[in-house]
């Protein structure tokens, strides 16, 4: 473990933690312009920025609809799609080009696929073979020809927190990859066999080295899974800390690794009902940035200690985050 994930993470923290040049923050889009609200997940693909507005819909699908909006790079609306329930996970499949919209993360989950040319595909929403009224799927990751999903609301050790698709045909079938109670390497202390938290599985991303990165939001913890779903699978984690109090943050939502010294963050400033474009330069390569609800900030994360440094402050419920390199 210390020869792979750790190397990447040490590179991410070298020199950090803050870009030397202040960013330029502008409003890219607002929900008010379309009569919708509460932007959450953001995805990039098909030369477009995709944003899911949840509109206060129930996270178990009981009431309400979400709106997925496709924007061109200038912020003009290309298309918008109404989807029943709460769309909390949004990602573009790099192989097929289809947009995956995961709805109802807290129960009665389904999957809607959007073709950028033809619209919502026939057969959507697609159900899962095993249904739950209290648990659901939050975000997908595409790793080669495999699809991994974060699974919410575990109640105790042994409950799945990451699963992998075994069949994408309706109904969707999955196998467990990671469970609550898994132990691993604490990246800040170097101690092995330490328990992860995983009380609040949320965002799921792919690191530059190909590892899965799961966010446990209320715990303020990142969990890294190397070689997922293989016999050589291993786990590491990092507690994200408020340097003022020394305690873990909460509302840890979305995160990105920086792949270029210059680019634009797109961030859902949810309670202000707007998507921000944050133009940045002088960024440290492979540095990790995250949106943190308890701080209402976009922060840089020191991968040696877990301490954070503010990058953009005075936000109001930051959630979805992507980075477009230039």
* DSSP annotation string for 136-183: -EEEEEEETTEEEEEE----STT-EEEEEEEE-SSSBEEEEEEETT-E
Q: What is the mean pLDDT of the chain?
A: 94
Q: Where are the alpha helices (DSSP H) in the chain?
A: 5-13
Contact 38, 53 (CB under 8 A): yes
Domain of 88 in residue numbering reads as 5-325
Dihedrals phi, psi of 34, to nearest 5 degrees: -115, 5
List the CATH number of the domain containing 257. 2.120.10
- The region, left, alpha or beta by phi > 0 then psi within -120 to 50, assigned to residue 201 is beta
CA distance 92 to 115: 10
- Condensed to tens digits (0 to 9), the pLDDT of residues 270-314 reads 999 999 999 999 999 999 999 999 999 999 999 999 999 999 999
Average pLDDT estimate for 252-275: 97
Residue 21 has a pLDDT of 85
Which band of pLDDT confidence, cut at 50, 70 and 90, is reported for residue 213?
A: very high
CA distance 218 to 49: 27
pTM here is: 0.93
Q: Per this entry, what is the length of the chain? A: 326
Which band of pLDDT confidence, cut at 50, 70 and 90, is reported for residue 191?
A: very high
Nearest to 222 by CA among 192, 185, 258: 185
- pLDDT over 80 (residue 8): no
- pLDDT over 80 (residue 239): yes
How many domains in the chain? 1
Pairing label, strands 160-167, 146-151: antiparallel
Q: Is 33 helix (H, G, I), strand (E, B) or coil?
A: helix
CA distance 227 to 246: 32
């Amino acid at each position: 473990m210390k020869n792979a994930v750790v190397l990447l993470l040490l590179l991410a923290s070298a020199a950090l933690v803050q870009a030397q040049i202040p960013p330029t923050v502008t409003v890219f889009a607002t929900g008010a312009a379309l009569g919708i609200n509460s932007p959450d997940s953001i995805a990039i693909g098909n030369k477009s920025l995709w944003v899911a507005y949840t509109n206060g819909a129930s996270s178990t699908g009981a009431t309400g609809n979400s709106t997925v909006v496709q924007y061109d790079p200038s912020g003009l609306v290309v298309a918008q799609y109404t989807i029943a329930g709460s769309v909390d996970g949004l990602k573009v499949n790099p192989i097929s080009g289809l947009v995956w919209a995961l709805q109802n993360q807290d129960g009665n989950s389904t999957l809607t696929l959007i073709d950028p040319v033809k619209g919502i595909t026939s057969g959507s929403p697609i159900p899962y073979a095993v249904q739950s009224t209290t648990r659901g799927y939050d975000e997908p990751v595409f790793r080669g020809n495999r699809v991994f999903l974060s699974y919410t609301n575990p109640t105790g050790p042994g409950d799945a927190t990451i699963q992998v698709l075994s069949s994408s045909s309706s109904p969707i079938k999955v196998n467990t990859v990671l469970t609550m109670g898994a132990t691993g390497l604490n990246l800040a202390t170097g101690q092995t066999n330490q328990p992860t938290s995983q009380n609040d599985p949320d965002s799921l991303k792919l690191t530059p080295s190909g590892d899965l990165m799961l966010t446990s939001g209320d715990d303020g913890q990142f969990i890294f899974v190397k070689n997922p779903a293989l016999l050589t699978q291993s786990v590491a984690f990092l507690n994200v800390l408020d340097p003022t109090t020394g305690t873990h943050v909460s509302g840890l939502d979305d995160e990105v690794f920086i792949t270029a010294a210059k680019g634009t963050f797109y961030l859902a400033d949810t309670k202000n009902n707007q998507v921000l474009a944050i133009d940045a330069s002088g960024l440290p390569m492979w540095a990790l940035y995250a949106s943190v609800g308890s701080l209402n900030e976009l922060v840089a994360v020191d991968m040696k200690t877990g301490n954070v440094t503010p990058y953009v402050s005075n936000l109001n419920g930051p959630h979805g985050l992507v980075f477009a390199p230039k």
